[in-house]
Amino acid sequence: MEGHSTYQPQGKVARWFESRLPLVGLMHSSAVAYPTPKNLNYLWTFGAILTFMLVCQIVSGVVLAMHYTAYAPVSFARVEHIMRDVNYGWLIRYIHANGASMFFIAVYIHIFRGLYYGSYKAPREVLWILGVIIYLLMMATAFMGYVLPWGQMSYWGATVITNLFSAIPYVGETIVQWLWGGYSVGDPTLNRFFSLHYLLPFMIAGVVVLHIWALHHVGQNNPAGVDVKSVAKDTVPFTPYATVKDVFAMVVFLLFFAWFVFYIPNYLGHSDNYIPANPLSTPAHIVPEWYFLPFYAILRSVPDKLGGVLAMFGAIAVLAFLPWLDTSKVRSARYRPLFRQFFWIFAVVAVGLGYLGSQPAEGGFVIASRILTVYYFVHFLVILPVLGLIERPAPLPASIADAVLAKGAKGAALPAAKA
């Protein structure tokens, strides 16, 4: 998109460099002059928060790797060494462990923002699919990172998740042994997980670059869901407007993050993971980290091994097809009265599945999981395609500027009405 200004290199050196590598110009056009819709709300700050969280996880993770050893007989003790011996090791490990949860909180807000405002619709399909790929990479990275402390939850989490692949007909067992590098989860598994846990964040960073590139190519969506018609009327330059807003949101998010790190650092973890891995005894109540719970509930709700695994992976894969499953041309839920209600039902179902994933798989919990799992798929495969055909959307504003002015006029009218 055409920005609000163009970078003019000042001075001989800047001109010399810019004609050889237009790096400063690229930064200027994508982070200074880049036009952002003037009606963006705070839900649009989560992209910046997520970028910050990725950097936070990489920096704290590189430091932890300096003090950690991936070797089954010592890994548990090495993590305790970080907690007790290394200067501020406790802080850096708690930042990293809670940072993973914060990363997922931010990504779920980011994803639901996209769902509500139809950010996946044309021309943003590739942008959306790149996001789904980032989400998958995040899940793989988080899972492998959780294995590294080599506690009971690490060990049995690794066992359960890798055993998902044993559901594949005929070759399942062979694939699982290949994943393990042995006949059970063991030292070879730990070492390859450590290697991949270090690699994947950099792959995420690469896909994030593509994600931002795609975003800046097609332009941001906005709460009204209508396209930018006039850069001058509908947008403001990224700097200072979006930069300052993003930084402010980040500071507020950091307060929330710091509260976990300093006051309840183990609230989101499991106490069983402070028991060294024991291949001979599974903990009585085994659950994944909270951010996997909805998918765990879907896995358990299907009374068939292969079926459960397919449903779980299908629940994520269906997101990639969303741009074509939602048949409505209107992006924002603001102008889709029926979709807006189904969106909130879906949000409650997703949180409900998370709750059910944390409960034992018995009695009423199983029945509820089954109902919600069916609804999860019905939402994407039936409700969204049909809604686009039968729903009568509210009239769209002519432009972003009109949407902003209409809102302003309503606000201004209120005191007048009183008087």
Q: Write out the residues near another protein by the rule CB under 8 A.
A: 59, 63, 66-67, 81, 84-89, 91-92
Place of tokens 């980011």: 110
Helix 23-31 to helix 12-20 angle, to the nearest 10 degrees?
90
Query: Which has the closest alpha carbon to 154: 114, 194, 115?
Result: 194
Backbone angles phi, psi at 9, to 5 degrees: -60, 130
* Minimum CB distance to another protein smaller for 166 or for 239: 239
Cβ neighbours of residue 144 closer than 8 Å, sequence gap 6 or more: 193, 194, 196, 197, 200
Would you say 194 and 67 are in contact if contact means Cβ atoms under 8 Å apart? no
What are the structure tokens assigned to 379, written together?
Answer: 């939402």
Place of tokens 């500071």: 251
* Minimum CB distance to another protein smaller for 240 or for 279: 240
Q: Alpha carbon 58 to chain centroid distance?
A: 16
Would you say 150 and 275 are in contact if contact means Cβ atoms under 8 Å apart? no
Q: How far is the CB of 330 from another protein (least distance, A)?
A: 40
Q: How far is the CB of 290 from another protein (least distance, A)?
A: 26
Q: How far is the CB of 87 from another protein (least distance, A)?
A: 4
Backbone angles phi, psi at 328, to 5 degrees: -75, 140
Q: How far is the CB of 63 from another protein (least distance, A)?
A: 6
In a 3-state reduction of DSSP, which class is residue 256?
A: helix
Query: Which has the closest alpha carbon to 108: 57, 49, 154, 52?
Result: 49
* Minimum CB distance to another protein smaller for 31 or for 59: 59
Q: Bridge partners of 36? A: 236
144 Ramachandran zone, left/alpha/beta (phi>0; psi -120 to 50): alpha
Q: How far is the CB of 242 from another protein (least distance, A)?
A: 17
* Minimum CB distance to another protein smaller for 56 or for 338: 56
Q: How far is the CB of 84 from another protein (least distance, A)?
A: 7
Position 207, amino acid: V
Please compute, for residue 80, the number of CA atoms within 13 A of its CA located in the half-sphere on the CB side: 10
- Cis peptide leading into residue 123 (ω within 30°): yes
Place of tokens 């790929």: 133
* Minimum CB distance to another protein smaller for 66 or for 232: 66
Cβ neighbours of residue 268 closer than 8 Å, sequence gap 6 or more: 97, 98, 101, 260, 289, 290
* Minimum CB distance to another protein smaller for 89 or for 352: 89
Q: Bridge partners of 151? A: 276
Backbone angles phi, psi at 150, to 5 degrees: 55, 40
Q: How far is the CB of 240 from another protein (least distance, A)?
A: 11
Q: How far is the CB of 67 from another protein (least distance, A)?
A: 7
Q: How far is the CB of 52 from another protein (least distance, A)?
A: 12
CA-CA distance, 113 to 220, in Å (whole number)? 12
Q: How far is the CB of 25 from another protein (least distance, A)?
A: 26
* Minimum CB distance to another protein smaller for 19 or for 87: 87
Q: How far is the CB of 23 from another protein (least distance, A)?
A: 24
* Minimum CB distance to another protein smaller for 86 or for 325: 86
* Minimum CB distance to another protein smaller for 86 or for 158: 86
* Minimum CB distance to another protein smaller for 66 or for 409: 66
Give 24: exposed, middle or buried? Use CB within 10 Å, 0-12, 13-18, 19+.
Answer: middle
